[in-house]
Amino acid sequence: MNPQESALHYPLGDELPAPGTTRELAPGVRWLRLQMPFSLDHINLWLLRDRVDGREGWTVVDCGIDRPETRAQWESVFATQLEGLPVLRVLVTHLHPDHVGLAHWICGRWSQAGQDCRLWMSGTDYFLARVGRDPVEGFGGEPLARFLGAQGLNAPETQQALLARTPYYPSLVPDMPRSYRRMVEGDLIDIGGHAWRCISGRGHAPEHIALHCEALGLLIAGDMVLPRISTNVSVHEDEPEANPLRDFLASIDKYLPLPPQTLVLPSHGKPFTGLQARIGQLHAHHADRLAEVMDACRQAPQSAADLLPLMFKRPLDLNQMPIAVGEALAHLHLLWHEGRLLRGMDADGVWRFRVAPQG
């Protein structure tokens, strides 16, 4: 939790939209909150009144995971919150299951002959989602277990448990629309007569798209800037030498020039103002973590798994392990790419990081 949350302001107060209903934030902009069965127990979605190809309706931003309960929450929204109008298109900020999981269902449900309810997404995230949900080539399985083993999760029982796990991504994203429209950095999308500008960001997802509407003073931030928790930044098995923390810290600075009074619409938590303060907090948070990691490596060489008790001061279950190891590795990799740490694979097949002579 963010210890400096008091530097942020919640102009809408504590009132949340009740399940299956929405709350209006600006003319034609509605906030929808779906429940999720995880420790992160909700996601915020946004409904934007729109007109596409002469048809009146709604654009939805992000979708929720594919679970019967989530579909039921959507059905209630369709029946009571859309003023009898259709969903015209689906914009998705990035490939994570809570954002893209139901895109195939919403697009399919609202498409008819000659009138596609189109998915809009970045090209990188769209194609990675299609690969990731593949039962054979998708995320998880043996490549993930091998990757985590090389970061120190190499106890035989841990490896067996990792291999026995149902791959989570295909279970929450069982399908993807087979066509889409690409969103790219700098694109201006007309939604209901207002221009929304795409701002791409890296480090959390390969090509996350946030949307800024200057006229309405709103930033749909996705997962890039959250008020209470720090955005997950992880190295993943498909890009094992990546430096996502450098990418993330550079990406959030792209929001610094936005007007200070901008109302930030985050995917988790409540809409807030104080964007620039929050970006400063995130930089300070990661600087502290990097200093802790350097200190630990000065004591003894560290693998990502070695750092878990230092970085996560709570027990982690098997499902949290990949994200936690990936996050520890992201901090190690920033320091390694900067030349402050050196890495070497020890005889047990584990990457360990030690302080460079000039570090």
Which stretch, 91-99, 149-157, 242-250, 255-263, contacts Zn ion (CB under 5 A)? 91-99
From candidates 30, 67, 96, 352, binder to Zn ion by CB under 5 A: 96
The least distance separating Zn ion from the CB of residue 43, rounded to whole angstroms, comes to 9
Which stretch, 93-101, 140-148, 292-300, 339-347, contacts Zn ion (CB under 5 A)?
93-101
First to last CA, the chain: 31
The tokens describing 172, both together, are 């929450």
Instruction: Please give the structure tokens belonging to residue 95.
Output: 């490939």
Beta carbons within 10 angstroms of residue 263's beta carbon: 20
CB of 120 to Zn ion, least distance (A): 17
- Cβ nearer to Zn ion, comparing 125 with 223: 223
User: What mask, x for binding Zn ion by CB under 5 A, covers residues 212 to 231?
Assistant: -----------x--------
Size of the site for Zn ion (CB under 5 A): 2
The residues, ordered by sequence, that sit 6+ positions from 126 with a Cβ below 8 Å of its Cβ are 95, 119, 176, 180, 182
CB burial readout 115-136, b (16+ within 10 A) else e? ebbbbbbbebbbbbbbebbeee
Helix 141-150, helix 321-337: angle, nearest 10: 50
Q: Which residue is nearest to Zn ion (CB)?
A: 96
- Measured from the CB atom, is 99 or 352 closer to Zn ion? 99
- Binding of Zn ion at residue 236 (CB under 5 A)? no
The least distance separating Zn ion from the CB of residue 238, rounded to whole angstroms, comes to: 16
Which CB, 37 or 114, lies closer to Zn ion?
Answer: 37
Nearer CB in complex with Zn ion: 96/286: 96
Minimum separation from the CB atom of position 205 to Zn ion (A):
6
For 101, the token pair is 């999981």
Q: How far is the CB of 316 from Zn ion (least distance, A)?
A: 19
In the chain, % helix, strand, coil (3-state, to 5) comes to 35, 25, 40
Q: How many residues does the chain have?
A: 359
Report strand pairing: 29-35 vs 42-52.
antiparallel
Q: Tell me which residue of 227, 231, 213, 216 sits closest to 266, measured CA to CA.
A: 227
Q: Which is nearer to Zn ion, 96 or 236 (CB)?
A: 96
How near is the Cβ of 163 to Zn ion at its closest, in Å?
Answer: 25
Chain positions contacting Zn ion, by CB under 5 A: 96, 223
